[in-house]
Structure 1
Amino acid sequence: MTDGADVGTVLGKSVTILRAFRADDQTLPLAELVRRTGLHKATVHRLARDLARNRLLDRSDEGYRLSGGLFELGMRASVERSLLEIAMPFIQDLYERTHETVHLGVRDGHDIVYLAKVGGHKQTNAPSRTGGRLPLYCTAIGKALLADAAPALRRAVLSEPLTRRTPHTVVAPGMLRRQLQQISKNGCAFEYEESAIGLVCVAAPIFGSDNTPVAAISIAGPSSRFRPDAHVHAVRAAAAGISRTLTRRDVLRDGKRSP
């Protein structure tokens, strides 16, 4: 059963159905939705029809798939949308300079969620995708966010079981803690095949007006030719530019609200 929803309510059951879809899914048969949610077949059938009527699901002969109505709602999320609008010129500039894959991500619990992924026809084969998520501890963006996060969050992440996604994933809490200290000091984080074999990455945190990390930006490429340390200055400069723009926006907005 999918976690995170109160399945005792109609809303909770509907959210459980929506969250049953995984990143690689296209269309799911009704029987698979029943299996994944643990809900009664009649309940899934009724709620899936209601979700389809409200353009949150699309129905076909093969089953159900997520609808464009969800995308529209997601793009109305004010914080993420404004961050993406501010960051996009910097993301595009990084891509034009490097022609490597550029990511923008934010923290959601103990994961990162990718708001943007920009790459060309030869972009690196990475497990990331726009709207997808990966753990904080094994990604450059995640470690950039975790390094300057609240101490309670760092303790919570380091105290839970850390899954070894590749032979290079750092799963020793002490070693990861030392990495985070160095990242906080240097202002950039590296990943060397920790989330996927063949992928290396450099990231820098983006700070809000209260000097807390709100997002991170990264450049990723194949380990066969990409050297993350050669792009430290570029990714730091992009992160600093986005941070300044966010701060300027907040100052202007708060100034307009003052009596």
Structure 2
Amino acid sequence: MAAILWGMESAPSVTSKALAILAAFTAQQPSLTLSEIGRRAGLPLTTAHRLVGELTDWGALERDDAGRYRIGLRLWEVASLAPRSLGLRERAMPFLEDLYEVTHENVQLAVRDGFEAVYVERISGRHAVSVVSRVGGRLPLHATGVGQVLLAYAPAEFQDQVLATTLKAFTKFTIVDPKRLRQVLAEVRRTGIAVCDRMVDPGTLSVAAPVFGPAEGEDAVAARVSTGAAVVAALSVVVPSEDADRVGLAPAVRAAARGISRALGAAP
């Protein structure tokens, strides 16, 4: 992990070492001891001890009563200021809440970052189906409803890059054949809806739609479309796969996505 952050051409800087420490924490291992941090970050224990202390003093890390470390609230506070999620989440929340009231299932909002969909918001009820996604979590674009939407509206060159990689199969239903995935993406663009049935979890189905907004910069998260707007995010609802009313869910998801798009200033 540390080698990925540092590269091979030069000695790691202090910043690289600090980033390696933060990258040591994962959803599967959110709590680590000092020695575990040093080992996972590829740092001597003395160096890890010094940097972990500085990160803890600043609030990027927190230490519990057992002496284990976790990501601190200060880091979450800074991350919440990311422009792609801040205004988007604020404007999207009323429509996410409306969609949740209609379905009482998982409602999710995601943006593209590299070859992955990053979930920036999620509403889930106590009786909603269990999902593998989480706020701040990442999943590959090819295997999720939001991911397929973001990939379908991405530039052709980017699609080629994704399809040239080895696509991970989460279940036997995950589409890993590039030719078939191209057909699916074309259908998503034609209908404005992506339906992923049991592709990440064998018991769930997601219905997703694009969220449009004014394009910013050369990489506006997705390709500029004919209306002059760009797909800046994707919205989905995740329901139990068995007896899922995918036809009935599509209009509700599409309407919520259009509402967010209008709130972001996208053209009708």
Say whether the fold is shared (TM-score over 0.5): yes
CA deviation string 1:78-121 (max 9, x = no partner): 33110000000000000001111100000110001111110110
Task: Report if aligned partners of 1:144, 1:188 keep a CA contact under 8 Å in 2.
Answer: yes
Superposition deviation, residue 55 in structure 1: 0.2
Task: Report if aligned partners of 1:99, 1:120 keep a CA contact under 8 Å in 2.
Answer: yes
Superposition deviation, residue 35 in structure 1: 2.2
Bigger drift between 133-142 and 38-47 goes to 38-47
Bigger drift between 210-219 and 87-96 goes to 210-219
Task: Report if aligned partners of 1:27, 1:62 keep a CA contact under 8 Å in 2.
Answer: no
Counterpart of 1:11? 15
Q: Say whether 1:219 aligns with 2:237.
A: yes
Structure 1 residue ranges without an equivalent (≥5): 251-259
Bigger drift between 132-141 and 209-218 goes to 209-218
Superposition deviation, residue 4 in structure 1: 5.6
- Name the CA distance, whole Å, in 2 between partners of 1:108 and 1:194: 20
Q: Quick one: which amino acid aligns to residue 5 of structure 1?
A: L
CA deviation string 1:36-75 (max 9, x = no partner): 1112222111111110010000123332111111111112
- Name the CA distance, whole Å, in 1 between partners of 2:94 and 2:62: 33
- Name the CA distance, whole Å, in 2 between partners of 1:225 and 1:9: 54
- Name the CA distance, whole Å, in 1 between partners of 2:133 and 2:30: 17
Correspondence for 1:233 among 228, 248, 251: 251
- Name the CA distance, whole Å, in 2 between partners of 1:31 and 1:149: 42
Superposition deviation, residue 3 in structure 1: 6.6
Q: Say whether 1:111 aligns with 2:116.
A: yes
Correspondence for 1:80 among 85, 92, 95: 85
Counterpart of 1:157? 162
- Name the CA distance, whole Å, in 1 between partners of 2:74 and 2:204: 33
Counterpart of 1:27? 31
Matches within 5 A, 1:70-149: 70-149=75-154
Counterpart of 1:254? none
Of Structure 1 and Structure 2, the greater helix share is in 1
Matches within 5 A, 1:36-75: 36-60=40-64, 61-75=66-80
Q: Quick one: which amino acid aligns to residue 20 of structure 1?
A: A
**What TM-score do the two structures reach when normalised by structure 1?**
0.92
Counterpart of 2:211? 206
Task: Report if aligned partners of 1:149, 1:212 keep a CA contact under 8 Å in 2.
Answer: no
CA deviation string 1:169-207 (max 9, x = no partner): 100000000000010111010111101110100000111
- Supply the RMSD in Å over aligned alpha carbons: 1.6
Kindly tell me: are residues 229 and 4 of structure 1, through their superposed partners in 2, closer, same or farther at Cα, counting changes over 3 Å? Answer: farther
The share of aligned pairs that are identical, in percent, is 40
Task: Report if aligned partners of 1:91, 1:102 keep a CA contact under 8 Å in 2.
Answer: yes
- Name the CA distance, whole Å, in 2 between partners of 1:225 and 1:62: 47
- Name the CA distance, whole Å, in 1 between partners of 2:36 and 2:246: 42
- Name the CA distance, whole Å, in 1 between partners of 2:244 and 2:36: 41
Matches within 5 A, 1:164-175: 164-175=169-180
Q: How many equivalent pairs are there?
A: 249
